Structure 1
Amino acid sequence: MTIHQNGLFVQPDQGRSYYFGQDLYTFKAIGEETGEAYALCEVIVAPGGGTPPHRHSRENESFYIQDGEIEFQLDDRTLVATPGTFLHSPKGQLHRFTNMTSLPAKLLVWVTPAGFEKFIAEVGKAVNGQITSAPPLSPEDLDKILTTSPKYGIEIIPPPPGQ
């Protein structure tokens, strides 16, 4: 990665990468590089991967689908997004996304203002070196995600009992 006074230039396969569950988050821009205005990451969503229903109290979150098919929930609407689709979830809105297919999907996630990248860095598993496959999510990992999320203004909605 090269940072210039007049901008930011990040080559393909560069950026800070973390496994978050089954999915690979690679940050192309973080708050420290954007005056805290935004963070941008590329996410490769594994088959069956995605997020639980959640809300951000600090950030707006936007999504641009690059490859594959992702099912989104925005409040009570369920939508299927394919390449070229853009979605925006303002802060406070209940949302989630899931890859319901048998193939990986890729999307860009733009978060304004920045800050979400610090949550992923704290609870994700840093990728140092070659990207392989995601390590399994342990009960300890899940507990860390649930206990850390309020620190970043994120409310994770647990599944109903019995699911």
Structure 2
Amino acid sequence: MPHRVLGNGAFEWIGSWYKTILSSDDTEGSIAIIDSISPPGGGPPRHIHHKQDEIFVILTGKIEFWFEGTRFTRGPGESAFIPKGCEHTFRVSGSDWSRHLVTVTPGGLDAFFEDMGRRKLTIPQDMERVVETARRHALEFTGPPLEDE
């Protein structure tokens, strides 16, 4: 079970498990690091972070990224950089779960994930409330999750 791998403090949101390992509060807002485990096919709707750069470090599994119309895949030991203001999404490809670290600068995205997990909001059923909360974290949803071409 992913929550056992991540340990105490892990929470689930839309099928993925998250644990903040360096919070925005701990860094006075300058950075946050989130440990995440996502199932095959898992990933968010297309979106833009208006204030944060995002760095993925893939520990296990493979992730297919969509970045402003371009697709690319990263696997264990590889990383992806998503600059703020750029439309993107991702999904776990293959049949294995992916464990990845997500670093955001400045911090803040950790609070969004924790809010979503605590409130147990789902997509698409609770999309209106998800979008409202995302807006408070300078996050904008712009399209559907990644699908096969």
| 1: CA distance, partners of 2:86 / 2:11 | 25
TM-score in terms of structure 1 length: 0.78
How far does residue 50 in structure 1 lie from its aligned partner after superposition?
Answer: 1.0
Amino acid at match of 2:57: Y
Residue 116 of structure 1: aligned partner:
109
The answer as to whether partners of 1:39 and 1:112 remain within 8 angstroms in 2 is: yes
Residue 107 of structure 1: aligned partner:
100
How far does residue 100 in structure 1 lie from its aligned partner after superposition?
Answer: 2.4
Residue 132 of structure 1: aligned partner:
none
Q: Does 1:63 find its partner at 2:48?
A: no
Local SS of the residue matching 2:42: coil
The answer as to whether partners of 1:25 and 1:44 remain within 8 angstroms in 2 is: yes
Gap runs ≥5 in structure 2: none
RMSD over aligned Cα atoms: 2.3
Match of 1:83 among 76, 85, 109: 76
Local SS of the residue matching 2:112: helix
Residue 138 of structure 2: aligned partner:
153
Structure number with larger C-alpha Rg: 1
| 2: CA distance, partners of 1:148 / 1:67 | 30
Residue 10 of structure 2: aligned partner:
17
Alpha carbons of structure 1 residues 60 and 16: separation in structure 2 relative to 1, 3 Å = farther
Equivalent pairs counted in the alignment come to 141
Alpha carbons of structure 1 residues 139 and 156: separation in structure 2 relative to 1, 3 Å = closer
TM-score in terms of structure 2 length: 0.84
Amino acid at match of 1:103: D
Residue 3 of structure 1: aligned partner:
none
Residue 128 of structure 2: aligned partner:
143
1:91-140 Cα distance to aligned partner (Å, 9 max, x none): 001111101222211110000011111111111248xxxxxxxx893654
- Structure 1 range deviating more: 16-25 or 89-98: 16-25
Alpha carbons of structure 1 residues 139 and 68: separation in structure 2 relative to 1, 3 Å = closer
Local SS of the residue matching 1:159: strand
- Structure 1 range deviating more: 41-50 or 12-21: 12-21
Query: Percent sequence identity over matched residues?
Result: 28
The answer as to whether partners of 2:121 and 2:130 remain within 8 angstroms in 1 is: no
Residue 22 of structure 2: aligned partner:
29
| 1: CA distance, partners of 2:52 / 2:8 | 21
| 2: CA distance, partners of 1:136 / 1:152 | 16
